[in-house]
Amino acid sequence: MGLTAGERILQWLIRAVSGFLSAVFVLMSPRRKAETVPPVTEPLLLIPAVQLAEKIRRKQVSSVDVVQAYIDRIQQVNPLLNAVVKDRFSAALAEAAQADRLIEEETGGEEALADRLPLLGVPLSVKESFLLQGMPCSTGLVSRAGFVASTDAPVVALLKRAGAIPLGVTNTSELCMWLESNNHLYGITNNPYDTTRICGGSSGGEGSILASGGSLIGIGSDIGGSIRLPCFFNGIFGHKGTPGIVCNEGQLPPMSGLQEDILSTGPMCRYAEDLFPMLKIMAGANADKLSLSSKVDLKKLRFFTVVDDGGSPWTSPVDKQLVEAQRKVIQRLEEDLGVKVKEMSFPQLKYSSQIWETCMALPDKDGKPPQPFAEVMADGGSTVWPVWELIKRIFGKSDHTLATIGLALIGCKPSPFYLKMKEVLQRDMDKVLGTNGVLLYPSHPLLAPKHHHPLFAVYNFSYTGIFNALALPVTQCPLGLSEEGLPLGVQVVGGKLQDHLTLAVALYLEKAFGGWRNPGTT
């Protein structure tokens, strides 16, 4: 099922127009100086969360010293990044002091403390779309500028209950529905490896501050790639789990229709070894549904690779450096593990963006359709008219970003044809992966684009979005840096409820390719 002649012509036209518009945009945009954040030099910032928690429990380092080190790093890099939009440094230091006192007073021993409070004293950052008591929760909506959360989202509460200490909240795209973290309330967030590049979205502030060494572990959410794209663009690890395992409550925007079925809340971090414990904590009572304690023998897994989406007219060609990085992963797997990585193709992948849009537009089980995006923009206030907002935007008077207005204008509509394509792809993918298969797939066709350039390649997100539609777990893994010094990476996809397999592969890839790279170093 290759491209038809009409699709090839459409592909050429789309790429020609988007290339032209992108070139015009570059010529008209003011020149920005590309900067990289200074390297992390403080040793306390280079310890995985699991190991750091152990050091804190053993009194080898105090939580106060750790939290202060992270505060110092945020204050150093945030002026360049605009990643943390509201801090709670004073409260975090007070909680760190309380954690140190608790350790001093503990009578049950280190093991009991580790079981009860596995992340005691460890710094945490939180995506601003989640409720965190005393912090804003606006998702970049100007109309929500004065809102302050009075409670915690369930997933935030679980991590705090495990002893983690929130440092503050991080920037998102407006209403979490775009792959660049930019809004008219907080502004734009930059990539720590090149400040002229995007950090991704919607969990872009998380990706940026984690990669820069300003945070150690973080909370993200993913309905079309909002964990994986920031992790890819910023060179860190992230996991979009099997839906229904981690609670999605207590975050904005509200889900409607069947959107809850494709949304996943999950962990983001610099070190692969922190993914397992974070997911276990975040899953709460549902952790038993995943085999997170099972030992995975990678040599017994079946490995597959897909090089691209089959040539969709709507997406960019996959960058050659990403193709080569994925090839190197295959080579290492085959050499180190003695496995054979089988190259696959799924013809329906070229409809990925349309399949995702159809799933976003499906009614719930009672037949109620999703809330129109313009109503979500209004947030219960005055009606938002997308055409009027577009006119206002031309004159710089709209409170909404161009991307958000565009989404409201275009909307998502269900299609029986693409629903059928989704069902076929779901059947074939489930059959291939089963309970012991993992799939390698590009995270995005391009390396981290320049600011605003995704406006000219809207559907490139579909490389991640398709796995939301298929409700499959995916771990995003960094694979070093490109010739330009930008992060490379790959998605590792597993069968439903087989999250432990993709996490185990992430651990292997970290050892094989070095994992997160300290910005500003070669």
Residues 6+ apart with CB under 8 A from 166: 88, 92, 124, 125, 126, 132, 135, 156, 160
Question: Where are the strands (E) in 408-495, listed by range?
Answer: 437-441, 474-481, 487-494
Residues 6+ apart with CB under 8 A from 104: 59
**Residue 304 dihedral angles phi and psi, to the nearest 5°:** -135, 155
Angle at 423 between CA 4 and CA 494, to 5 degrees: 105
- Six token digits for residue 268: 């983001």
Q: What amino acid occupies position 76?
A: Q
* Contact between 486 and 194 (Cβ < 8 Å): yes
* Contact between 317 and 308 (Cβ < 8 Å): yes
Provide the 8-state DSSP code for 39: P
Active-site annotation, residues: 127, 202, 226
Residues 132 and 426: their CA atoms lie apart, in Å, by 36
Q: How far is CA 153 from CA 116, 215, 251, 482, 488, in A?
A: 20, 20, 7, 37, 32
Residues 134 and 131: their CA atoms lie apart, in Å, by 9
